[in-house]
Structure 1
Amino acid sequence: MTGYLVYSIYCYIASLISWRIEKLFEKQNDEQKKKIFFILKHAFRVTGTVLLLAHLLS
């Protein structure tokens, strides 16, 4: 049960790290890498939310 919560926190931390890396590539005008980290940021955020909901509903 608490595994969902732990992985949810990991996903939110990964989302924050992806956001910071995305901002670095934005300053370097590297659009391809910026898009990759944009997608990763949202994937981690959605996964974290799903895991948090699974924790709350179990």
Structure 2
Amino acid sequence: MVRVGQSSEKAALIYQHSDLDRSRSVACDAFMAEVNGRVHRETRRVPAEMLAEDASG
């Protein structure tokens, strides 16, 4: 394992896992934005717009 500025192997592992979790979160957000931003084939509406309508009342 390569430590880049971390004081111990434990710190390097914690950083490595937090970085992986952040990467997954960013990828998930991007995927959800893509999916919720396109027109649904059955409703012919954009899911993000329907979600906004539900949230507003």
TM-score (norm 1): 0.54
Aligned residues: 34
1:43 to 21, 42, 45: 21
- SS of match in other structure, 1:23: coil
One-letter code aligned to 1:24:
G
TM-score (norm 2): 0.54
- What are the superposed Cα offsets for residues 6-54 of structure 1, whole Å, 9 maximum, x if unpaired? xxxxxxxxxxxxxxxx6211xx4x1010000000000000011000000
Whichever of the two has the greater Rg, that structure is: 2
Between 1 and 2, higher relative CO (CA 8 Å, sep ≥ 6) is seen in 1
Residue 1 (structure 2) pairs with residue 23 (structure 1): no
Unmatched tracts of structure 2, length 5 or more:
37-57
Supply the distance in 2 between the matched residues of 1:23 and 1:55 (Cα, whole angstroms).
Answer: 33
Supply the distance in 2 between the matched residues of 1:24 and 1:45 (Cα, whole angstroms).
Answer: 20
